[in-house]
C-alpha cells in the first residue's frame, strides 16, 4: 500500500465564526508506517465528522431554539411540517454555513419537551430538552481530497430550563460507507469509512465557548482500504475524543494520539498543536 499522508482538512466553523484554514502537514506527520498513515487519515475523517457534530450542537441548535419555533408552517426559509406526534420535520437549507464545497442534503427533525411531555413548539421559558434527529448526505471536497457523506445523528440536548448556563448533549449516530479519497504528493488513496458514534455529556457553555472539560465522543470506525486494482483490506479503529475546555482536543485512535484544532479542523500529532 502506498504511503498515506497529506494536507489538513478544510476548516469549518465550530464555535462562533465561519473561518477557513489549510496548510502543509506539520513536522511529525511524515515518514509514517502504513498503520500510522491509516490512523492519520482516520483522524482527518474524524476531525470532519466532529466538526459537523459540534455544528449541530451550536449553530443548528440555535436555529430551532427561537421563541415560538414551530408555530409557523415555514421557518427560516425551510418548509417544516409535523411528523409523528408533535415532531417537526424540516428539509432543505445549508448545513453549517457552507464550509468546503459540494452538494449536501440536510434533514432536521426536532421534538421539544417540557419534562416528559411533548410540546407544540419551542418556548424559552418552558422547554427543558430537545431531541434532534439529523440526516446529512451528499459530497464534500477540499484541498486534501473529497468525501461522500452519509450520516445520521440522534442527539438530545438538556439543561435548557430558565436561565441557561450550559447545554448538555447526549446521543448516538452512525455513518454508512463514506467514500473518502485523499490525493497529495504521496499519491491517491481511497477508503470506505463507516462507523458508530456515542456522545456522552458534552457540555456547551452559555454564552458559547469551547466544549467544557469531561464530555466525550466515542467512535468505532471501520476502514475498507480500496486499491487501484479494486482489492480491499478492512481495518477497525476505536476513537476516543475527550473535551478539555480548550480549542485543542485530544483524539486517541487505538493507541495513537492526535490533537484536533476545533477552530480549523486541523490535525496535529500528540501535544504539538
Q: Is residue 151 part of a domain?
A: yes
Q: Is residue 24 part of a domain?
A: no
Alpha-carbon distances, residue 69 vs 80, 96, 119, 262 (angstroms) = 10, 19, 11, 29
**pLDDT tens-digit map of 115-144:** 878 888 888 889 999 999 999 888 887 666
**pLDDT tens-digit map of 166-205:** 999 999 999 987 888 877 666 678 899 999 999 999 999 9
Structural domain containing residue 52 = 34-269
Q: Is residue 10 part of a domain?
A: no
**pLDDT tens-digit map of 57-76:** 998 888 888 877 776 544 55
In total, how many domains does the chain have?
1
Give residue for cell 474524524. 46
Q: Is residue 192 part of a domain?
A: yes
CB 54 within 8 A of CB 211: yes
Q: Is residue 238 part of a domain?
A: yes
Confidence of residue 93 (pLDDT cuts 50, 70, 90): low
- Specify the pLDDT at position 20: 33
Indicate the pTM of the whole model.
0.82
Q: Which of 6-20, 105-119, 132-146, 223-237 has the lowest mean pLDDT?
A: 6-20
Q: Is residue 81 part of a domain?
A: yes
Q: Is residue 249 part of a domain?
A: yes
Amino acid at each position: 500500500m502506498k504511503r498515506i499522508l497529506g494536507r489538513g482538512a478544510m476548516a469549518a466553523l465550530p464555535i462562533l465564526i465561519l473561518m477557513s484554514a489549510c496548510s502543509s502537514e506539520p513536522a511529525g506527520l511524515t515518514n509514517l508506517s502504513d498503520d500510522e498513515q491509516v490512523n492519520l487519515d482516520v483522524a482527518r475523517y474524524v476531525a470532519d465528522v466532529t466538526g459537523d457534530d459540534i455544528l449541530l450542537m451550536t449553530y443548528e441548535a440555535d436555529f430551532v431554539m427561537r421563541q415560538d419555533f414551530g408555530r409557523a408552517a415555514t421557518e427560516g426559509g425551510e418548509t417544516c411540517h409535523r411528523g409523528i406526534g408533535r415532531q417537526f420535520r424540516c428539509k432543505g437549507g445549508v448545513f453549517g454555513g457552507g464550509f468546503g464545497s459540494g452538494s449536501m442534503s440536510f434533514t432536521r427533525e426536532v421534538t421539544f419537551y417540557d419534562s416528559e411531555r411533548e410540546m407544540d413548539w419551542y418556548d424559552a421559558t418552558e422547554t427543558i430538552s430537545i431531541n434532534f434527529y439529523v440526516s446529512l448526505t451528499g459530497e464534500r471536497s477540499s484541498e486534501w481530497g473529497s468525501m461522500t457523506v452519509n450520516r445520521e445523528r440522534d442527539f438530545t440536548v438538556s439543561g435548557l430550563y430558565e436561565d441557561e448556563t450550559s447545554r448538555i448533549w447526549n446521543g448516538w449516530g452512525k455513518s454508512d460507507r463514506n467514500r473518502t479519497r485523499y490525493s497529495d504528493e504521496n499519491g491517491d488513496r481511497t477508503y470506505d469509512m463507516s462507523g458508530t458514534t456515542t456522545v456522552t455529556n458534552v457540555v456547551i457553555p452559555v454564552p458559547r465557548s469551547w466544549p467544557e472539560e469531561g464530555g466525550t465522543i466515542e467512535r468505532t470506525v471501520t476502514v475498507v482500504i480500496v486499491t487501484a486494482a479494486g482489492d480491499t483490506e478492512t481495518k477497525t479503529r476505536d476513537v476516543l475524543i475527550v473535551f478539555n475546555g480548550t480549542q485543542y482536543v485530544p483524539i486517541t485512535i487505538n493507541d495513537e494520539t492526535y490533537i484536533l484544532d476545533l477552530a480549523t479542523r486541523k490535525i496535529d500529532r500528540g501535544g504539538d498543536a
